[in-house]
């Protein structure tokens, strides 16, 4: 059975950059975009062109260098945003305007102060205006998961009639549960069969720690695109992490039947570059790219790994440009200790090894965390 190929829409340079305190210069955006191309993402959302002259320049610079990926920029349903976006994307090999407008009662009443009829009309107008100015138009029903599915389906119908190529139903505030998010896609597709003619997209936030789980639930519900960021950076608790979605799809491909165009060998380098240029440190226990994601200190695990790495690893880190480590500490065993001595060029007989191991354990128990550095 061949896998269904889904699109990876990377928004590290837009939603990721909206993390408090991150401001990437155009040349830094270009450096990350070039790495994202090596990684093999399908779409690079490069910024929000109307947000600032610097961001306009960042989007323009990325559009000029991207050779393979579609380059997107975010826009409100305003003529000045759409004009700035289309202008910034002029040099793109393939361009996409990503237009958003909220569809939830909370946002429509409290933020936009627009009626549902006005929201539907503005959305359709903006998509119609964007169409023809760029290669592709994406429309997002902001705060979709707190919206009435009947109204979301109506907006989907109207933006598709106006020419949208991609329709995104984001969990903007990280509120949904996995089953519920999958059910939401099912319900909106049932109410708007027009969605079968476009690419349907998911976009999740990690406020409840469910961004990746929700993205995978959406993939199982049949979406054709997932929006995510390297290292899961993004507003508040962050976006769904690209590397986690991609590796879940890869490791569990037999069950999920879904494939991406990502080159796994570039994951480590992509994570390191985004960490360095954004200044957002990857937590050591972060899945896939954390410093400890393939580190094993416990003796029983180290013994198993030295016999066969598949005993305690479901991923071969070398395939991602990363390495397995066996740090020595109070939980480590004799097998890994002996290996470390041999690696350090120490030829110890059984008697010496036993004495050294006892002294090592005493040292480790004294509270020194990294014995190898002591
Ligand atoms: Mn977002």
Give domain limits for the chain.
4-278, 299-366
| SS3 (DSSP) at 244 | helix
Distance 314 CA to ligand 1 centre (A): 30
pLDDT surpassing 60 at residue 274: yes
Structurally, at CATH architecture level, domain 4-278 sits in Alpha-Beta Barrel (3.20)
In this prediction, residues 98-120 reach a mean pLDDT of 98
Distance 99 CA to ligand 1 centre (A): 12
Nearest to 39 by CA among 78, 64, 13: 13
Distance 169 CA to ligand 1 centre (A): 11
Surface-to-core class of residue 93, CB atoms within 10 Å of its CB (0-12 exposed, 13-18 middle, 19+ buried): middle
pTM metric for this prediction: 0.95
Are the beta carbons of 79 and 43 closer than 8 angstroms? no
Residue 105 contacts by C-beta under 8 Å, 6 or more apart in sequence? Answer: 146, 147, 148
Q: Provide the pLDDT for residue 2.
A: 85
Distance 283 CA to ligand 1 centre (A): 21
Distance 77 CA to ligand 1 centre (A): 17
Q: Provide the pLDDT for residue 374.
A: 42
> What does the alpha-carbon distance between residue 233 and residue 227 come to, in Å, rounded to a whole number?
12
Extract the tokens encoding 304. Answer: 């198993």
- What confidence tens digit (pLDDT) does each residue in 201-241 have? 999 999 999 999 999 999 999 999 999 999 999 999 999 99
Q: Which residues pair with 226 in a beta bridge?
A: 8, 202
Distance 114 CA to ligand 1 centre (A): 21
Distance 250 CA to ligand 1 centre (A): 24
Distance 175 CA to ligand 1 centre (A): 12
Are the beta carbons of 205 and 226 closer than 8 angstroms? no
Q: Provide the pLDDT for residue 370.
A: 58
Average pLDDT, the chain: 96
């Amino acid at each position: 059975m061949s896998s269904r190929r889904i699109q990876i829409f990377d928004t590290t340079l837009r939603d990721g950059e909206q993390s408090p305190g991150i401001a990437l210069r155009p040349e830094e955006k270009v450096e990350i975009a070039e790495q994202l191309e090596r990684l093999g993402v399908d779409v690079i959302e490069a910024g929000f062109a109307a947000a600032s002259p610097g961001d306009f320049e960042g989007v323009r610079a990325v559009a000029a260098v991207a050779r393979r990926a579609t380059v997107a920029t975010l826009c409100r349903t305003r003529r000045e945003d759409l004009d700035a976006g289309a202008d910034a994307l002029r040099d793109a090999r393939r361009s996409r305007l990503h237009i958003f407008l909220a569809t939830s009662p909370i946002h429509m009443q409290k933020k936009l102060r627009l009626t549902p009829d006005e929201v539907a009309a503005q959305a359709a107008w903006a998509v119609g205006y964007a169409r023809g100015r760029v290669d592709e138009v994406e429309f997002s029903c902001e705060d979709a998961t707190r919206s009435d599915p009947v109204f979301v389906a109506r907006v989907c119908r109207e933006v598709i009639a106006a020419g949208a190529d991609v329709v995104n139903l984001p969990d903007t505030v990280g509120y949904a549960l996995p089953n519920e998010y999958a059910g939401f896609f099912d319900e909106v597709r049932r109410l708007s069969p027009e969605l079968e003619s476009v690419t349907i997209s998911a976009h999740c936030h990690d406020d409840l720690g469910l961004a990746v789980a929700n993205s995978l639930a959406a993939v199982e519900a049949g979406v054709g695109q997932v929006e995510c960021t390297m290292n899961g950076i993004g507003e508040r608790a962050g976006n769904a992490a690209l590397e986690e979605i991609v590796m879940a799809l890869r490791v569990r491909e037999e069950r999920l039947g879904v494939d991406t165009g990502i080159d796994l060998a570039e994951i480590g380098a992509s994570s390191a570059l985004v960490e360095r240029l954004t200044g957002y440190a990857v937590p050591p226990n972060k899945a896939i790219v954390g410093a400890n994601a393939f580190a094993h200190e416990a003796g029983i695990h180290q013994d198993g790994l030295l016999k066969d790495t598949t005993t305690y690893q479901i991923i071969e880190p070398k395939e991602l440009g990363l390495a397995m480590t066996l740090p020595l500490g109070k939980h480590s065993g004799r097998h890994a200790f002996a290996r470390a001595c041999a690696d350090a060029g120490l030829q110890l007989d059984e008697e010496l090894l036993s004495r050294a191991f006892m002294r090592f354990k005493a040292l480790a128990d004294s509270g020194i965390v990294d014995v190898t550095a002591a």
